[in-house]
Amino acid sequence: MRAARLLDVRSGRYVERAVVVVRGDTIESVGTSVPPGMPVVDLGDRTLLPGLIDTHTHVLLQGDATQAEYEQQILKEYPAHRVARAVRALKIALDHGSTTMRDLETEGAGYDDVALRDAVNEGVIPGPRLQVAGPALSTTGTYPILHFRPDWKFPVGVQTCDGADGCRRAVREQLSYGTDWVKVYSNTGGLHTTEDGYVDSPPNWTKEELAAVVSEAHGRGAKVAAHATSDTGARMAVEAGVDSIEHGNSIRPELAREMARKGIFLSPTIAVLAYVADPRAKEGRQIWSEIPRSHAKSVENCRKAGVKIAFGTDAGGFPWTEINQATEFEHEVRLGMTPLEAIRSSTTVAAEVLGLARRAGVVEKGAWADLVAGPGDPLRDVRVMSRVDFVMKAGEVVRRPVP
Ligand SMILES: [Zn+2]
């Protein structure tokens, strides 16, 4: 592979007239000269970067800005239809440059994410390599579908578990089906603003329940991601020792420092918030017009405290077909990150969350040959990241520029 420049994401410097030698699924060397006799893919005036990593997606979801949209998918769509649309989502994600994703819960589609991950690995369908969570965990009465007639049984978008023993059992059961992560909803309902401009809610769990989930997962080599959108939700998740906080709509400076100390990542999912805030506020859920401000402050607190911020979009919370995941880069920069920090969030930092450091997120000898390229200088204008037109995953070209 030859291109006008390669961004070394570690140093933040460009290598001009870069040559990346790929053998099989691995990068053999990075330099400026082509070894004799090697076929060359010349990308011309493009910037080469490591394949992108999105640490928060839902391939089995197709946008749920309103309750009605969510209920439509959970109650009415046939499982095969959802899987078919997930297959399309995987192709879209790969074409936009995501070579690796952490898909964080199926929203009523059981363990179909495990099957999709395996189908991608088998080469049956194109897609990013996946780490998956199956159904997320939450407690009874805390997650939709709620408030439908009580004498009928309706599906819930999560697996519910209660009590420390019940939660241990749920984690054991989930991991037995082949999931990589456990996702918990640390808080959901009852969001309200606080006097100092943050967001709070009651917790979904007791301390004992959350501790049981985390210790059971960690004991079996799995990691835990916590949806935490309130002060209490985030505090309890951090205290329980989860590995990543998702969304993080309310993180005061002292909690941010605690996250940094414990090495807990933040996946801020700014793109989805921009997408859902208005429709949800218009639906009568006023809190959604306040959340973006509290969220921006929280991201800033985390940045200042040195929390590792991992690129996460919540794609699927917005429609795969309408919004490119890479718009998250622009949102990250809007909230104060530099373009280089934003690019690292989706490469070196994201690889660290997934336990793939040195294999993914870098263009270096020994890493997977996951590469993207596009025209322009992403350090000057991060919107370039939405214009990726070349994608290689594990040494295989999956998208080439249209001449
Ligand atoms: Zn999500």
Ligand 1 centroid distance, CA of 262 (Å): 23
Residue corresponding to tokens 């606080």: 194
Mean pLDDT of all residues in 163-184: 98
Ligand 1 centroid distance, CA of 322 (Å): 17
pLDDT digit string, tens, across residues 149-162: 999 988 889 999 99
Ligand 1 centroid distance, CA of 5 (Å): 35
Mean pLDDT of all residues in 262-270: 98
pLDDT-derived band of residue 64, with 50, 70 and 90 as boundaries?
confident
pLDDT digit string, tens, across residues 309-351: 999 999 999 999 999 999 999 999 999 999 999 999 999 999 9
User: According to the model, what pLDDT value does residue 403 have?
Assistant: 78
Mean pLDDT of all residues in 38-54: 96
**Tally of CB atoms within 10 A around 122:** 8
User: According to the model, what pLDDT value does residue 155 have?
Assistant: 87
Ligand 1 centroid distance, CA of 157 (Å): 12
143: three-class secondary structure by DSSP: coil
User: According to the model, what pLDDT value does residue 198 have?
Assistant: 97
Ligand 1 centroid distance, CA of 243 (Å): 16
Distance set, CA 306 to CA 197, 303, 319, 341 (Å): 22, 5, 32, 12
Ligand 1 centroid distance, CA of 65 (Å): 12
Alpha-carbon dihedral of residues 44, 48, 53, 59, nearest 10 degrees?
A: 0
Residue corresponding to tokens 């280089």: 340
User: According to the model, what pLDDT value does residue 67 have?
Assistant: 86
pLDDT-derived band of residue 66, with 50, 70 and 90 as boundaries?
confident
Which tokens in the block code for residue 307? 């929390």
User: According to the model, what pLDDT value does residue 346 have?
Assistant: 98
User: What percentage of the chain exceeds 90 in pLDDT?
Assistant: 95
Ligand 1 centroid distance, CA of 104 (Å): 6
Which tokens in the block code for residue 271? 């793109």
User: According to the model, what pLDDT value does residue 65 have?
Assistant: 85
Q: Which helix (H) or strand (E) holds 53?
A: strand 52-57
Ligand 1 centroid distance, CA of 43 (Å): 35
Contacts of 83 (CB under 8 A, 6+ apart): 60, 109, 112, 115, 116
For the chain, what is the mean pLDDT? 96
Long-range contacts of 74-79 (CB under 8 A, 24+ apart): 74/107, 74/108, 74/144, 74/145, 74/155, 74/157, 75/145, 75/154, 75/155, 79/109, 79/110, 79/112
Mean pLDDT of all residues in 267-291: 93
Task: Please state whether the peptide bond connecting residue 291 to the residue before it is cis, i.e. omega within 30 degrees of 0.
Answer: no
Mean pLDDT of all residues in 131-147: 95
Ligand 1 centroid distance, CA of 291 (Å): 16
User: According to the model, what pLDDT value does residue 98 have?
Assistant: 98
Ligand 1 centroid distance, CA of 383 (Å): 23
Ligand 1 centroid distance, CA of 226 (Å): 10
User: What percentage of the chain exceeds 70 in pLDDT?
Assistant: 100
Ligand 1 centroid distance, CA of 27 (Å): 32
Residue corresponding to tokens 């992108």: 52
User: According to the model, what pLDDT value does residue 121 have?
Assistant: 98
Ligand 1 centroid distance, CA of 86 (Å): 15
DSSP conformation letters of 241-299: T-SEEEE-S---HHHHHHHHHHT-EEE--HHHHHHHHHHHHHTT-THHHHHHHHHHHHH
